[in-house]
């Protein structure tokens, strides 16, 4: 019986998360509040690490995590995980981007209402013993225009809630299609159009080089006088100093921020500014959201550790738990083909191509390409897997091409792996027999059917009588038993290929003796 995957929960998560791990076949330890040194001392025991924001998954921790396969963040932000280093170590990093979507959207709506009716300031003064009724004249949101910067998952929920408040919703989002805008009942506009028309602006976009300070001084100056601005997305989307100036001048009537460029935000130019409302990054802080992200991270991590499903991974293609069983035999085939071409192709490698033909062309190609690279890159590293293989290939300047061909050839499903070398192009092809048994069917233009498994010997020789007897005798005299003998040739009397399966590794001495046989051109021992 195979050993259960072992998971560590190192931050405080809802107890149901541990129960899900156990129900799905994982062993789980719950140890919140560990110091970095304590975590470093035990992390080598675990296949999975479930965290929130407290645990810092640094290069130092990852170096000690010799068995780690996946880090799961219950929530969206992964600033506490060194993703590039994790990728280099072959560790999948996942988050749960949708578990707190409703909660964050509702917080944005709450901020809109707080600004519209100046609730925080009115509350402070009322509780201080005043009755400042005449000082607080609010505005209705009914009939006002809400401008969304970002209309993805959270933005679309805000749009729906705002429409329930009878607001008109416009949106700027380069990825929003016209069809999706119609479906949401919103108007797609450019950024300048949004800034000129919106009575309220809410931001729902990640922080990237393109979105940093998207509401900087220049764009804030383009906004409608009296605008009210809400940011529950990411700090850094708004120039806080410029926003303060706009509040002081009265051009911006109010602003509400749940996120800041520097957090924890112990100070900000906005603090104390009339018309400014703030909360300490509470967008995801509801009981329901914390339960949701805990359950989701447990489900995603256990799917990966138990069945190979990959959901919401930040450093490898998604692969649903439903897809994984169907793709698994293809990935096994792809990894073997990648390993084969990696062991056989010599010279300066410049590119690798992965072609899917027939039924294979209908499948998710990214995991298949990842498996090819994992097999191929083993010539460079003994710790390579599907996660770090693309990074290793990129480091070495290897161009990766993916080709999809829906037509069927001689086989109903086929994966072909080719490499460009300084000696020319080389390719190998394989198929599945019985839907799940990987089988080589072509090697460097020669048709050869073989199972790629264990210890093997690849021999290229002149097609002449007596060779099979000579190679068989050589191995027999060396005490090496032959499991399978697979033959192929380009043409009678031309170049032939022998692919032998043997019961033990082939030593350099045996390789040298085989190379000395009459008619032999190439001898390469293989391991799968």
Q: Which residue in the list 140, 183, 263, 399 is annotated as catalytic?
A: 263
Exposure string of 38-66, with b = 16+ CB inside 10 Å and e = fewer, is ebbeebeebbbbbbbeebebbeebbeebe
pLDDT of residue 321: 67
d(CA 455, CA 461): 20
Neighbours of 127 (CB within 10 A): 8
pLDDT of residue 99: 85
Length of the chain equals 528
6-99+288-307 topology per CATH: Rossmann fold (3.40.50)
* Residue pLDDT, tens place only, 2-13: 589 999 999 999
Neighbours of 183 (CB within 10 A): 10
The DSSP code for 383 is S
Q: Tell me how far CA of residue 1 lies from CA of 4, 305, in angstroms.
A: 9, 16
Residue 263 bears catalytic tag: yes
- The domains of the chain are located at 6-99+288-307, 101-278, 322-445, 453-528
Q: Tell me how far CA of residue 372 lies from CA of 336, 393, 418, in angstroms.
A: 7, 11, 10
Name the CA radius of gyration of the chain, rounded: 30
The answer to whether 360 and 441 are in contact (CB under 8 A) is no
Assigned CATH for 322-445: 3.30.1330.90
* Residue pLDDT, tens place only, 352-369: 999 999 999 998 888 899
* Residue pLDDT, tens place only, 208-232: 788 999 999 999 999 999 999 999 9
d(CA 216, CA 243): 8
User: In Å, how far from its chain's centre is CA 277?
Assistant: 35
Residue 396 bears catalytic tag: no
The sign one gets for the Cα dihedral 371, 373, 377, 379 is positive
101-278 topology per CATH: Rossmann fold (3.40.50)
d(CA 176, CA 466): 69
d(CA 77, CA 93): 11
d(CA 493, CA 443): 18
Residue 234 bears catalytic tag: yes
SS (H, E, C) 107-165: HHHHHHHHHHHCHHHHHHHHHCCCCCHHHCCCCCCCCCEEEEECCCHHHHHHHHHHHHC
Q: Looking at the structure, give the CATH architecture of the domain made up of residues 453-528.
A: 2-Layer Sandwich (3.30)
**For residue 400, what are the β-bridge partners?**
352
Q: Do 101-278 and 6-99+288-307 fall under one CATH topology?
A: yes
The residue ranges of the chain whose pLDDT is under 50 are: 1
d(CA 456, CA 519): 20
Q: Which residue in the list 281, 356, 378, 426 is annotated as catalytic?
A: 281
- What is the β-pairing status of strands 252-257 and 227-231? parallel
The sign one gets for the Cα dihedral 275, 276, 279, 284 is positive
Indicate yes or no: pTM above 0.75.
Answer: no
d(CA 439, CA 276): 67
The answer to whether 198 and 227 are in contact (CB under 8 A) is yes
Sole residue written with tokens 């919401």: 312
Tokens of 89: 């170590």
Burial of 307 (0-12, 13-18, 19+ CB in 10 A): middle
pLDDT of residue 1: 40
d(CA 443, CA 416): 10
pLDDT of residue 260: 96
Q: Which residue in the list 52, 228, 234, 426 is annotated as catalytic?
A: 234
């Amino acid at each position: 019986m195979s050993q259960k995957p072992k998971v560590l929960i190192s931050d405080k998560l809802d107890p149901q998360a541990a129960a899900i791990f156990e129900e799905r076949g994982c062993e789980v330890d719950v140890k919140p509040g560990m110091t970095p040194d304590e975590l470093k001392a035990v992390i080598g025991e675990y296949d999975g690490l479930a965290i929130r924001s407290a645990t810092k998954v640094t290069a130092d921790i990852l170096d000690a995590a010799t068995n780690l396969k996946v880090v799961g963040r219950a929530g969206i932000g992964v600033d506490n995980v060194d993703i590039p280093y994790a990728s280099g170590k072959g560790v999948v990093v996942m988050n749960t981007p949708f578990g707190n979507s409703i909660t964050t959207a509702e917080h944005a709506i709450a901020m809109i209402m707080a600004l519209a009716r100046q609730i925080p300031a009115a509350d402070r003064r009322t509780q201080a013993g005043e009755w400042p009724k005449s000082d607080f004249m609010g505005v209705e949101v009914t009939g006002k225009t809400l401008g969304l910067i970002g209309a993805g998952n959270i933005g679309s929920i805000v749009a729906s809630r705002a429409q329930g408040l009878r607001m008109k919703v416009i949106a700027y989002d380069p990825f929003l299609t016209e069809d999706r805008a119609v479906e949401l009942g919103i108007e797609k506009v450019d950024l300048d159009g949004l800034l000129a028309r919106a009575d309220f602006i809410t931001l729902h976009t990640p922080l990237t080089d393109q979105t940093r300070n998207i509401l900087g001084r220049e764009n804030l100056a383009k906004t409608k006088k009296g605008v009210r601005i809400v940011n529950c997305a990411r700090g850094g989307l708004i120039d806080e100093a410029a926003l303060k100036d706009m509040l002081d001048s009265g051009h911006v009537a109010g602003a509400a921020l749940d996120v800041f460029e520097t957090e924890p935000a112990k100070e900000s130019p906005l603090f104390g500014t009339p018309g400014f409302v703030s909360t300490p990054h509470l967008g995801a802080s509801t009981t329901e959201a914390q339960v949701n992200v805990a359950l989701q991270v447990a489900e995603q991590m256990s799917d990966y550790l138990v069945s190979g499903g990959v959901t919401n991974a930040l450093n490898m293609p998604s692969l649903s738990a439903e897809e994984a069983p169907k793709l698994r035999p293809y990935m096994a085939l792809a990894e073997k083909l990648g390993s084969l071409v990696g062991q056989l192709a010599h010279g300066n490698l410049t590119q690798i191509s992965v072609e899917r033909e027939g039924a294979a062309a209908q499948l998710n190609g990214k995991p298949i390409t990842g498996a090819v690279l994992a097999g191929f890159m083993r010539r460079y590293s003994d710790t390579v897997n599907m996660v770090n293989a693309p990074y290793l290939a990129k480091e070495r300047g290897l161009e990766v091409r993916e080709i999809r061909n829906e037509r069927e050839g001689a086989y109903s499903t086929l994966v072909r792996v080719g490499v460009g070398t300084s000696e020319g192009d080389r390719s190998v092809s394989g198929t599945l027999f019985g839907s799940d048994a990987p089988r080589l069917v072509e090697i460097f233009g020669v048709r050869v059917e073989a199972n790629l498994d264990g210890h093997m010997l690849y021999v290229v020789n002149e097609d002449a009588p007596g060779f099979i007897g000579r190679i068989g005798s050589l191995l027999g005299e060396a005490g090496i038993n032959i499991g399978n003998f697979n033959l192929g040739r380009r043409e009678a009397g031309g170049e032939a290929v022998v692919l032998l399966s043997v019961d033990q590794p082939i030593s350099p001495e045996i390789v040298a003796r085989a190379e000395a046989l009459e008619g032999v051109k190439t001898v390469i021992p293989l391991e799968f």
